Structure 1
Amino acid sequence: MKIMVAMSGGVDSSVAASLLCEQGHDVTGVTLKLWDGPSDTGCCSVADVDDAQRVASQLKIPFHVANMSEAFNTHVVEPYVEAHAQGQTPNPCIECNRHLKFGSLLEMMDRLGFDALATGHHARIRRDGATPELVRGVDNKKDQSYVLSMLNAQQLSVLHLPVGEMTKDEVRQHALQRGLRTSMKPDSQDVCFIQSGPGRRGFLEDRSQITPGHVVDRETGDVVGEVDALELITLGQRQGLGVDAEGIKRVAVKVDMKKKQIMVSTPEKSQINELSISPDSITWVHGVPLGEGVQFITQLRAHSEPVTCRLVSNRLIFDAPINPVAPGQTAAFYDAAQPDVVVGSAMVAV
């Protein structure tokens, strides 16, 4: 099979390419040039491109760099800045997957005559039924099915995830045994286009206005503090919001950019029983919605504990109270009977 492998310069995609070569496939490595600005984190630095190219050379496979920086700016960076300006907390990795890695790159794969696309994500594709299913990776601590939850069955049909059947330790061991230069490279942890020095604040300050605001107790209406950047506050946050009269850390429950204030409450009172989701953002792996009121499982952050809920009129109704979730975050849906199987996703609405 002729397979294009998206190589980020990390150990997972390096091993994905290695495994496919050993399985006898005709493999070509491709690295996406996404960010034109400075970067020292994630998968966008010059060093990452160099690592990917060197691994491809070790594997003796063709290697190409695809410049998608303009599309990355349009679909990922600009919406990221705009969302923060509106008091939301976006997930740029999911939008990059949606528009570039499994949008533009799949189109390129098809146009250039490849049979399939492979990545180094820790998730699995089950193909023993009529249509493919996206399933959590073997290594639960590294599972990335959450960031792939927007994919549909057609996309899954041409996608290969070779390291999804391995633990992270097994991935590194494979790379070490074959002398791949990325074998001990640390995992990327941060947003790839934000430098560790200036951080998120510095990045946003360069591109939009930063807004100071009041911290207001939701129950009393009293102003109990100040913050110098509303754009950096996310729902559920406790850091930097002070403590109440009993010494309990306050929790952000609402960011109001128009009134220039954050509403806070106690951890117990901040919990919610339902969430609105954007109807335009809902995707179903097999194109068929779950019935209204049917119980399923949702995961609301990349590594949060899954919770049970039901979807009623574009609202997620939870079986038990949960901590606040910021608008802009993704809710990944899993089958209640098979909790490792992804069935869809949606974006949390304001």
Structure 2
Amino acid sequence: MSAAQARTIVGMSGGVDSSVAALHLRDAGEPIAGLFMQNWADDGSGDCRAEDDRRDAVAVSGRLGIQIHFRDFSGEYWAGVFEHFLAEYAAGRTPNPDVLCNREIKFKHFLDAARDLGAQYIATGHYARVEASAGRHLLLRAVDRSKDQSYFLHQLGQAQLAATRFPLGGLIKRDVRQMALDAGLPTAAKKDSTGICFIGERDFREFLGRYLPAREGEMRTPDGEVIGRHSGVFYFTLGQREGLNIGGVRGFEAAPWYVVGKDVAGNVLYVDQGADSPWLQSHALRSEPAHWIAGAPPSARFTCTAQTRYRQHDEACEVSVREDGTLEVRFARPQRAVTPGQSLVLYDGDVCLGGAVIATTDAPLEERLKAQAA
């Protein structure tokens, strides 16, 4: 099939989901071709499996009898995603590169490449749905809520959604696996990828240390007692338990420790015992300027549900839109480990309204550190 005949270009990642997305469209009679995106330049570590994924994407395309194209977006990824990733960690925040990758790469440069090939639409293996309603395109959660990825897609706009198809949005993951098996696709039993490609299977702290050199400092309780040392505050995120290496501490019970705050300027990591430490709780947050999928918020003040991290249960909240586009959000019940740099994503039932990057919260330790810095 020539590129001119393909009305839809499928982003072929070499995984089972994109493989079945292509299978589903082909079997429905849609003229398709595939496109494999290289988003990370090989750093010689052998930890990023891009070449294996490329071979699998080629094998699937051959099995389906469709043409496959290749594009190298590693330069765009570095400038549009990775540099932001490093800047956020250096500032002591915890970014979500998957959100930026979708906005800057998969639904921008990939979409442009598909149009250059003469296609009208792109398709991916994301678990989400798009529906047209009253002249607008809605981003909906997937039928399989355990796999729903609308959280990572909340930065998309009307033009992108109008040109996008999500063939898996109405399917259940186990059925997707079975469809791949029944069709004899070589990715049928392939393990789902997790985490960030450019980190791969390697140690996160070792990888980040290549770009943000470690600077040791004190680990303290919220009361200021020094109980250990850390290898760099930006290696840790709120609510984290692993990697603290705190042994028995005199005067404290033998219970797990969790990160409850970071003072980047002072190079201090704050920890406390208990997964539900009061130092991890917040009732409200303020965001950076929000993105609205419909182009505008429902109103200046409204109630909805929200997620402050992927796969979180819906949390009721009230949203106030400020004149500068930022949001003030108050939750109906306390929230654990709401983390600056992560994404706040808003929903009305299954409809994703949009979202924003979390700037600050009213968690007790964060409030104290802000007051000290003022």
Q: Tell me the TM-score normalized by structure 1.
A: 0.92
Instruction: Report the secondary structure of 2:136's partner residue.
Output: coil
Structure 2 contact 232–267 (Cα < 8 Å) conserved:
no
Most deviating of 172-181 and 75-84: 75-84
Alpha-carbon contact 1:40-1:196 (below 8 Å) kept = no
- 1:62-211 map, 5 Å: 62-197=67-202, 199-211=203-215
Residue 297 of structure 2 is aligned to residue 261 of structure 1? no
Deviations 1:254-312 (A, max 9, x none): 21111000223453312111112112xx1101011132331111111111222111223
Q: Which moved more, 1:253-262 or 1:231-240?
A: 231-240
Alignment-mate amino acid for residue 23 of structure 1: A
Equivalent residue in structure 1 for 2:284, among 270, 274, 279: 274
Counterpart of 1:288 in 2: which secondary structure? coil
8 Å Cα contact 1:84-1:90 kept in structure 2: yes
* Pair 1:234-2:237 in alignment: yes
Q: Deviations over 1:158-205 (max 9, x none)?
A: 1100011111111111111111111111100121011323x2112112
In structure 1, what is the Cα distance between the partners aligned to 2:191 and 2:35? 21
- Asked whether the 8 Å contact 2:39–2:77 carries over to 1, the reply is yes
2:3 aligned residue: none
Change in Cα spacing, 1:41 to 1:240, as seen in structure 2 (3 Å) is closer
Alpha carbons of structure 1 residues 54 and 206: separation in structure 2 relative to 1, 3 Å: same
CA–CA distance in structure 2, aligned partners of residues 316 and 27 of structure 1: 43
Partner residue in 2 for 1:53: 58
Runs of 4+ off more than 4 Å = 38-42, 240-244
TM normalised by structure 2 equals: 0.86
RMSD, aligned CA: 1.9
CA deviation digits over 1:1-50, x for unaligned, max 9? 700110100011011111111111110100101111247667x5100011
Could you tell me how far 1:113 is from its partner in structure 2?
2.2
Deviations 1:224-256, CA, capped at 9 Å, x for gaps: 322112121101223344477244433323211
**Is residue 135–residue 340 contact of structure 1 (8 Å, CA) maintained in 2?**
yes
> Are 2:347 and 1:343 equivalent residues in the alignment?
no
| Contact 1:211–1:231 under 8 Å retained in 2 | no
Q: Please tell me whether the aligned partners of residues 9 and 51 of structure 1 are also in contact (alpha carbons under 8 angstroms).
A: yes
Structure 1 regions of 5+ residues with no counterpart?
Answer: none
The 1-side partners of 2:312 and 2:291 are apart by: 20
Higher mean C-alpha deviation, range 239-248 or range 141-150: 239-248
Asked if 1:225 is matched to 2:232, the reply is no
The letter for the 1-side match of 2:296 is V
1:273 corresponds to which letter in structure 2?
Answer: H
Q: Aligned to 1:325, what secondary structure does the other structure show?
A: coil
Greater shift, 245-254 or 292-301, is seen at 245-254
Deviation at 1:110, TM superposition (A): 2.6
CA shift for structure 1 position 212: 1.6
Tell me how far 1:214 sits from its aligned partner: 1.4
Gaps in structure 2 of 5+ consecutive residues? 1-5, 361-374
Instruction: Tell me whether 1:307 sits opposite 2:315 in the alignment.
Output: yes
How many residue pairs get aligned? The number is: 342
Structure 1 counterpart of 2:342, which letter? Q
| Cross-structure match for 1:333 | 346
Distance 1:46 1:68, change over 3 A: same
Name the CA distance, whole Å, in 1 between partners of 2:46 and 2:312.
Answer: 26
